[in-house]
Structure formats: C-alpha cells, structure tokens
C-alpha cells in the first residue's frame, strides 16, 4: 500500500483540517492527501497570521457539532 512508503505512515489519520486564507475558493492543494480521506474540513478566509485563539476555539466547537459519517 502507498501509505507504507509515506513519511506519515506511523501517524493516525486526520480528524479535522482547518485551512486558512481561502478567499478564492476551497482547496487543500494535495495537503496530506492519503491521511485526510475521512477528515472534516473547515475553510476560513482569515490569513494564518490573523488566526487567533478565539478562532481556534470557535472552529473546535464547530467540529464538536458535526456528525462524522466516515465516508458513509
């Protein structure tokens, strides 16, 4: 399997990805493609330097309200 040859082979699959700076549409640009197949995504218009503690808390609270279907 391809995952066996990746640097992230020993890491668990991702649960949640927060992508900042997305004012021109949602994309992940191939970021951890093999590890994010069942991840939940949050796309923010805010740029990374402006992303603060309150935004992190808001995004994590948003994640807790989601119903994970794991591809089903």
pLDDT tens-digit profile, the chain (72 residues)? 788 999 999 999 899 999 998 777 777 888 888 888 889 999 999 999 999 999 999 999 999 999 877 766
Residues 17, 41 contacting (CB under 8 angstroms): yes
Domain locations along the chain: 2-64
Q: Is 59 helix (H, G, I), strand (E, B) or coil?
A: helix
| Phi and psi, residue 41, nearest 5° | -115, 145
Largest CA distance in the chain: 40
pTM (2 d.p.):
0.79
């Amino acid at each position: 399997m391809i995952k066996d040859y990746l640097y992230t082979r020993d890491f668990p699959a991702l649960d949640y990805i927060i992508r900042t700076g997305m004012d021109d549409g949602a994309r992940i640009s191939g970021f951890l493609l093999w590890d994010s197949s069942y991840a939940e995504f949050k796309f923010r218009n805010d740029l990374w330097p402006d992303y603060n503690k309150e935004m992190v808390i808001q995004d994590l609270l948003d994640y807790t309200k989601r119903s994970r279907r794991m591809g089903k």
